[in-house]
Amino acid sequence: MIKENGKVMVHVENLKKNFDKLEVLKDISIDITEGEVVVLLGPSGSGKSTFLRCINRLEEATSGKIVVDGMEITDKHTDINKAREDIGMVFQHFNLFNNKNVIDNIMLAPVELKKMTKDEAREKAMALLQRVGLSDKAEAYPSQLSGGQKQRVAIARALAMNPNVILFDEPTSALDPEMVGEVLDVMKELAGAGMTMIVVTHEIGFAREVADRIVFVDGGYIVEQGTPNEIINHPKEKRTIDFLNKVL
Amino acid sequence: MIQIIQSYGTMILRALGQTLILCLLSLCVAMVIGLIFALLNVSHNRICNFLGTLYVDAIRGVPLIVLAYFIYFGVPAGMKMMGAVDFRLTALQAGTAALSMNCGAYMAEIIRAGIQSVDRGQMEASRSLGLTYGQSMRLVVLPQAIKTMIPSIINQFIITLKDTSILSVIGFPELTNMGKTISGNTFKSLETWAIIGIVYMIVIVSLSKAAKRLERKLNVGR
């Protein structure tokens, strides 16, 4: 079900992104409502990840407008660091800080950005570790964790800043198959708790089960979007049908 | 040989002390210079990149001995032309300046390579949490870069220690200069230079052994 009436959390209008002469995003417009879980599907190179990275300005949009929770990301005068505090991101390759143990990974940003005192941050971090099922790993270093554990810590790290929205950039693509489930479970729990989530993934099962809306992206455009039932079971566009035939 | 050690031993040790002072001072300044120019080089600003590259290329393109002459003789002459008649540099000041500028350029390259060896995702993850570029560099990237830089930095330390001998040309009373004095006084070149060589060797070998131990210790935490 597309949530029509809620507050718009992410507003994207005519977003274009070029890398030199290569047009990756040609014209993307979308509104994402508070609490909505949106899954982006599409072939590799279709611009899904680039789109995600434009939302917190890890990539600079070439043109167009992005507004997240009232802050205009594409406006040069916006304090991007301030805006990013409320936009969590989870990466394909986890990107845990290798020089810090698990608890310090989670505490770093809240403490450094003066969101919390050290004690508050520690308490919060422990609570988050419990939430992702890793209370016993607080003192471990990233190199001592499995891929699935790393990604769960990365999710806890993003949550520590109390973000309004979390961007997931292929969070399970670098994992061994047996670890995909534990990460998806954490994401399901988050979705259930009402977090606004934008997820780039190839996990059709997750999309079917958890997404409020699936957006199919190809060639730098949104080809079609709708509920999981509409997109996965009754796709209208030929490109969507071709893609689903390959992955299902 | 024993005779030389007996009569010149304390002077050799004092000269060694001067060598070490010059070396340590230069290394400290070089670390700062190196860090500054490395940060200029990895920044995304073209003007910064240009300045960084310009410095490194200019210094690496000039022999240390020429740089030393330029600073010790050339700069005061230039100051005189501009009206500052009393401007003088001691051999220690000029030597430290020349050595740290020289070492700084190499250090900049070492630090730049170290920073670039850290996966880009580390910076991105840090920035995505709202930390500034500076905070991310200081708290996440540089601490990781230092580990990979340590062997090269130690190597550069040793090169700089040996390069202090070049500064005997501006009359700084370091170890090599002392060697010249002793061999001039005693006419015993073979013994004198053997002793001087051995003193350098002892210091450098023990330094690099200590450094190896430090390196191993730092790697344990990984």
pLDDT digits (tens, 9 = 90+) for B160-171: 999 999 999 898
Say how many CB pairs under 8 Å bridge A and B.
Answer: 66
Work out the average pLDDT over A106-128: 95
Q: Residue B220: its pLDDT value, please?
A: 55
Work out the average pLDDT over A169-187: 94
Residue B90 has pLDDT above 50, yes or no: yes
ipTM of the prediction: 0.92
For the segment A128-139, what is each residue's pLDDT rounded down to a tens digit? 999 999 999 999
Residue A78 has pLDDT above 50, yes or no: yes
Give CA–CA dist A103/A105, Å, rounded.
5
Residue B14 has pLDDT above 50, yes or no: yes
Q: Please state whether beta strands A22-33 and A8-19 pair in parallel, antiparallel, or not at all (unpaired).
A: antiparallel
Q: Residue B151: its pLDDT value, please?
A: 85
Residues of B in contact with A82 (CB under 8 A): 130
For the segment A9-57, what is each residue's pLDDT rounded down to a tens digit? 999 999 999 999 999 999 999 999 999 999 999 998 889 999 999 999 9
Q: Which of B132, B140, B144 is nearest residue A81 as measured by Cβ atoms?
A: B132
Give how far Cα A218 sits from Cα of A221, A233, A241, Å.
6, 18, 12
| Range of lowest pLDDT (A186-190, B67-71, B76-80, B124-128) | B76-80
Residue A247 has pLDDT above 90, yes or no: no
CB contact under 8 A, A97 and B125: yes
Residue A3 has pLDDT above 60, yes or no: no
Work out the average pLDDT over B191-205: 94
CB contact under 8 A, B122 and A112: no
Q: Residue B8: its pLDDT value, please?
A: 87
Confidence class for position B217, pLDDT limits 50, 70, 90: confident
Averaged pLDDT score across all residues of chain A: 94
* More confident call, B2 vs A221: A221
Question: Taking phi first (over 0 means left), then psi (-120 to 50 degrees means alpha), and beta for anything else, what does residue A214 get?
Answer: beta
- List, as one string, the DSSP characters of B188-221: -HHHHHHHHHHHHHHHHHHHHHHHHHHHHHHHHT
Residue A191 has pLDDT above 90, yes or no: yes
CB contact under 8 A, B127 and A58: yes
Work out the average pLDDT over B21-31: 94
CB contact under 8 A, B130 and A161: yes
Q: Which of A85, A97, A141 is nearest residue B122 as measured by Cβ atoms?
A: A97
**Cβ–Cβ < 8 Å for B174, B19:** yes
Give how far Cα A157 sits from Cα of A34, A84, A92, Å.
21, 13, 14
Tell me the β-bridge partners of A165. A87, A196
What residues contact residue B31 under an 8 Å CB cut-off, 6+ apart? B104, B107
Residue A56, CB half-sphere, CA atoms under 13 Å: how many?
Answer: 31
Averaged pLDDT score across all residues of chain B: 91
Place of tokens 């500034």: B132
To probe the interface with B, which of A86, A97, A169 has the most B CB atoms within 10 Å? A97
Q: Residue A140: its pLDDT value, please?
A: 96
**Cβ–Cβ < 8 Å for A128, A156:** yes
Residues of A in contact with B126 (CB under 8 A): 97, 108-109
Question: Strand, coil or helix: what is A72?
Answer: strand
Work out the average pLDDT over B12-17: 92
Residues of B in contact with A85 (CB under 8 A): 129-130
Q: Which of B122, B135, B144 is nearest residue A112 as measured by Cβ atoms?
A: B135
Q: Residue A188: its pLDDT value, please?
A: 95
Q: Residue A1: its pLDDT value, please?
A: 45
Residues of B in contact with A151 (CB under 8 A): none
Chain B: give the shortest CA distance to residue A41, in Å: 23
The pTM assigned to this predicted structure is 0.86
Residue B20 has pLDDT above 70, yes or no: yes
* More confident call, B219 vs A233: A233
Give how far Cα A51 sits from Cα of A30, B127, B152, Å.
11, 17, 40
Residue B221 has pLDDT above 70, yes or no: no
Which chain A residues have any C-beta within 8 angstroms of a chain B C-beta? 56, 58, 81-85, 87-89, 91, 93, 95-100, 108-109, 112-113, 141, 143, 154, 157-158, 161
Chain B: give the shortest CA distance to residue A45, in Å: 19
Confidence class for position A110, pLDDT limits 50, 70, 90: very high
Which chain B residues have any C-beta within 8 angstroms of a chain A C-beta? 119, 121-122, 124-132, 135, 139-140, 143-144, 221-222
**Which amino acid, residue B35?**
L
Residue B181 has pLDDT above 80, yes or no: yes
Give the distance between the most distant pair of CA atoms in chain B.
Answer: 69
Q: Residue A164: its pLDDT value, please?
A: 95
Query: With pLDDT > 70 as the criterion, what percentage of chain A qualifies?
Result: 98
Give CA–CA dist A230/B17, Å, rounded.
81
Residue A2 has pLDDT above 60, yes or no: no
